Every structure is written in C-alpha cells, then in structure tokens.
Structure 1
C-alpha cells in the first residue's frame, strides 16, 4: 500500500519506566533458565510498578505532541493498540487517553489485534488521513504492562521476554517541513492457518484467564514452531518485495540503509527473519531490544522513536520496519527521512 510523501510521521514518542528487571537477576533468582537467557540476547526489561498501561501511552503521546508543537485538541483520529490487560474490563482505553490529552474533537478507536497492532494501526491511521479530507491529524498509541499473576514476562513466549512501555506516533497530511519521517508504504501478509500458535489445544473458555494462570503460549508456540518455520521464509520474502514495490524502490536502492528488526530477542530474529531478509537486502540490521525486550504493539512506536532520536538516517535515506502478530499477520513499512531538514523537537 503506497502512501508516498502524502502522509508524514510528524513526530514520535516513547515512555518506558525507569525500573529495570535484569536478565542476570532473573537467572540468579530462578525465574529464568540460563540457556533461555542466552538465546534471548536481552540485558534487561523495563518494569512499570506504579503506573497503568494507558497512562504510559498518555506520557508517550505528550512527548510526541510537544515535539510536533501540537495540542491534543487538534487530533482528528486516535487509534490505541495493546495485547494485555489495560486495567479495567469492558472499557475503552482510547477514550481515556483522548480525555487526558484534551483530544475532545477526535474519534478514539481500539485496535486489539496482537503484537502487529502497532503496524496495523499505523496503516489504518494513514488510510483514514488519505481517504477523509476532514481528517488531517492522527495519533497511534500503544501501551502494555505485563505483571503476575496474569503474565510471567520472562516465560510467556519462547525466548521472547516482555517489557512495559507506552509509545506514540503522530501522522498528518501536510507538506510542512519538520516531520520526523515520510511514510512511503505499509504492507501486510496474512497466514490465518497460524492462529494455532497462540490458541494451541486449549478449550474455549467463558472468561479471561480461566484456563491457566499465568497465561503462556510456550507449549503452543513450541508445537507450532515447525509450521511457522516452514512458511516464514516465503511469506517474508513476498511481503518485503511487495513493500519495496509499493514504495517505488528496488532492493539495491542505496537510499535503503537499514532494516529495523522486531524486538523478539536474538534467537527469534536469527531463526525467523534473517534468512529471508539477508537473501533480499544488503543493508545494516538494527536491534533496539537490548534494554526493552518485546514491547508487544509498542515495538513499532519504540523503533520509530529510536530511529528519530539516534538521527542515523541522513536526509532522503530510508529504513524498513518489520514484525508480526498473532493471527498470523506480518507487517512491514518503509519510512524516509525528510529531504529538507528543519530543526525538530528532541
């Protein structure tokens, strides 16, 4: 899906709690097996002890709004995405976030898809801005807080520990200078036969967390690993080729400098992503997960925030972001640093 330079990522923001649960601590206290820790390649996870998940999203959004010099009341659309409990049942977190931001004129929406929610919400927001002339400014937010007894952050998925965070991405349709990135293209590839990777052989339940606590996908993911591995290469290859085509560039385009890898730990990246990506692209590969682990839907906002804060993209250069989520849906996007650089917020 091509957006070209019509949709700008005006600003990004991320907020992670300062407290860290280190891998060394988890191993020493018997909460994590040393062999699993080695496969993860993660140093520490951010842990939120005194703030809710939606409030982390609010903090991240305020960072982004300050960088864009926007007021919350200017937002036309707000899409919030997450994978785990937001603190209340039968409740709308995006309306809460909109209220605290003063975004009283926007449409608050929820996208509860899986770990690819950040990428899919980015695509949805861009589509809304493109299709509706009345919608000019959008916020994509994410947040998650993984706590016991519901979730064991170190042992929820094989070699993929979970960190707490809030993230925010602001988009607009504008040719004004000062944007963080242009969103050139977003594309998806769906493999519904892989929904079993989370469901496993559990019976259908009548209420959340009824079957087991803490909830884990260790067994189902292990059983489905062979199926996932058998299709990942072909599906990722098709997805990346389609995204490059939508962005109007070739795989060897010198402006495509980086691939930002999903925050799923060293083992998962090496097994599921690198074989296909390295056969297609001769670029530098970036991992930003050393001190965060997997942030669920927040990987996308956090990756864009790290790209922005590191300033590693020169004007006109591009990066490809990629990830997947339960279902299974892969998402990839290509962003470009603006050609004409104007001073941006820090």
Structure 2
C-alpha cells in the first residue's frame, strides 16, 4: 500500500541490560558452537521490568519526542510475542492507561516477529480510513526468561533479547512540518505452506498449566520436518516471502533498492548476508538479540539516535514471522532530530500493576 500524508513523528526504544554472550557460554547456558555460528556479541536482558512496563517507558519517551498531543491518538496497537505478565487480559489497554489515556481504541497484535510491522500497517490504514483521526501509537514489548522461554536454547540461530519500542504515526499539515520521516509504503503478505514448522505435530494443549516449558521451537521444527518437508524448502519459502514483500514495498514507494540508505532486518545474522554491513543494522543488532516484534522499530530508532540518517534518505524495515507472515515498510527521512541515545528510559513508577 502506498501512503500519502502518513508520517513518523517519533520513535523510542527500551532495552534491557547488556549480557556478554561469552558469559552465557562460560556458564553453560549457550552452546559454544551455536555462539560461533550465530555471531552475536551480547543479548539484552530485563531482570525485573515486565513487557507492559517496558512498552509504557518507550511510549512515554516517543510521545515526549513527538509534537503530537496525547488527545490526538486515536489508536494504540501493541504487538508482542512473549508472555506479557498476565493471562486473559489486554496489555494494550494497560499501556494506553499509563500513556495517552483518552478514548482511543486499544488493540493487541499477535503476529509473532512480524507483529511490529503488522501493527504499523494497521495504524497507517486506521489513519487513512478515518479522516478525523490524527495520530496512532504503535508499541512492542517482549521479554524472554525461564521457565517460559530459554533465550539461548528455545530456538535456533536467534537468541532473544528483551526490550520494547514505540512509534508515533501522525497525519496532517502539522505532522508534515514536524515529523522525522514520511511513511511511503507498507506491505503485508502471508504464505502458510509451512505454517507447521513452528507449531510442531503434537496434539493441542488443553490448558495453560499443561504446556511444555520452556518452549522448544527446535523440537517442533524437527517434528514438522519428519512429515516429509525439508529444511531447504522451509528456508526457501521464508526467503521468498520476505523478498516478495520487500520488492513490492519498494515498487509501491517508487524507490530502487540501490537508493536505500539503510535496511533494518530482524536481528539475526543470516538476514544480513549479501549486503554491505554499512547498509544494515547488524553491528547494532548483534549486541541486542532478536527482540521478537520490535527489531525494526528499535533498529530505526538506533539509526536516528546515532545520526546515521539524514533528510532525503530512504529506509527499509523488513520482517518475517512464523506462520509464515512477511512485512515491509519504506520510509523517507525528513529531518535529523536532536535525540540523545537512550536505550533504557526510566521505568514507569511501580513495576507491577
């Protein structure tokens, strides 16, 4: 979808403390061979701040950085992958109550690692379809800890990092003069051919307490491959879907790949192969880990905070989620804001509801 009059007014990220992967290897929590293959330097870990409060901190900073009044926010979309601290509730409403309040619609998005881009596309669509709506707030937050998830062993090649992000979208004449970037296009695609690769082949669980923990995504993949699919076929579907979304987003934006200043992919080594490292965020991402739904917004925020982008630059945000779902967004920088690099904004008062 090509967008007109949709802008990124501000963004922010909250990251956990830095944990050197060598420490995890020395303590037996991360296989040494996996560490060499994965090529990460560090992973971010939140010891006692839970995802909804991470998102509140990021959202407050993003709103502070923007010129958008809280009352203008007509939608709050929160994307996540991991457990959010409570069962049977809506984290988006909690985040709304502690940030913009008001009568905005609050929605939770569950599209795995493609959730942040799905929420961005939804927010842009919401604003475009409702002329009276002037702004939307998109947040992500994920925390990967035992017993629910083993950040170094539950999945292959993607050790998880804890963190949250926030993006403020806006529209109108005021947004055009104050925003950081213009949203040119977004694309969401799906290919369910190998949706079982992360589901596995075991019977459905009957209750929360009956689940196998920690989550073992590697075992699920092997269960699926035992049915006859090959790893090469799964990877080919994943790669083709992400490339298709990227090419379509660039085409709709009227931007050539060679004219893209920076690509923000998921924080994993294999996504960045074949590209000049200076055009990606891998050197940053390998010190953060895979943040679930938030890699793209966090990577974009890092580029802006470190003055790696200037007016006129084009930025591609690319993602993929299990299922499989694919997303891409193309942005054009309008200005370089004077944001200080802030990886861990102050946590909200109180770390429990």
Distance 1:269 1:237, change over 3 A: closer
**In structure 2, what is the equivalent of residue 249 of structure 1?**
255
Counting only pairs closer than 5 Å after superposition, residues 84-103 of structure 1 correspond to structure 2 as: 84-103=82-101
Q: Distance in 1 between matches of 2:221 and 2:319?
A: 17
SS in 1 for 2:201: coil
- Coordinate RMSD, CA, aligned: 2.0
**In structure 2, what is the equivalent of residue 30 of structure 1?**
28
SS in 2 for 1:331: strand
**In structure 1, what is the equivalent of residue 232 of structure 2?**
226
Counting only pairs closer than 5 Å after superposition, residues 155-304 of structure 1 correspond to structure 2 as: 155-176=153-174, 177-208=177-208, 210-221=210-221, 223=225, 225-252=231-258, 254=259, 256-264=260-268, 266=269, 268-269=270-271, 274=273, 284-287=279-282, 288-304=284-300
Q: Distance in 1 between matches of 2:143 and 2:336?
A: 35
Of the structure 1 ranges 294-303 and 307-316, higher mean CA displacement relative to structure 2 is found in: 307-316
SS in 2 for 1:10: strand
**8 Å contact from structure 1 (residues 158, 221) kept in 2:** no
**8 Å contact from structure 2 (residues 54, 163) kept in 1:** yes
Deviations 1:112-147 (A, max 9, x none): 111100000000000000010121110000111111
Q: Distance in 1 between matches of 2:278 and 2:24?
A: 34
**8 Å contact from structure 1 (residues 163, 295) kept in 2:** yes
Aligned equivalent of 2:132, options 120, 131, 134: 134
Deviations 1:36-61 (A, max 9, x none): 00111111112112211100000000
Of the structure 1 ranges 217-226 and 321-330, higher mean CA displacement relative to structure 2 is found in: 217-226
Deviations 1:87-134 (A, max 9, x none): 111011011111111422211111111110000000000000001012
**8 Å contact from structure 2 (residues 139, 166) kept in 1:** yes
Q: Distance in 2 between matches of 1:105 and 1:342?
A: 32
Q: Distance in 1 between matches of 2:241 and 2:105?
A: 34
**8 Å contact from structure 1 (residues 74, 103) kept in 2:** no
TM-score (norm 1): 0.90
Q: Distance in 1 between matches of 2:182 and 2:209?
A: 41
Structure 1 gaps of 5+ residues are: none
Q: Distance in 2 between matches of 1:93 and 1:157?
A: 25
SS in 2 for 1:127: helix
Distance 1:142 1:282, change over 3 A: closer
**8 Å contact from structure 1 (residues 263, 295) kept in 2:** yes
**8 Å contact from structure 2 (residues 310, 336) kept in 1:** no
**8 Å contact from structure 2 (residues 7, 181) kept in 1:** yes
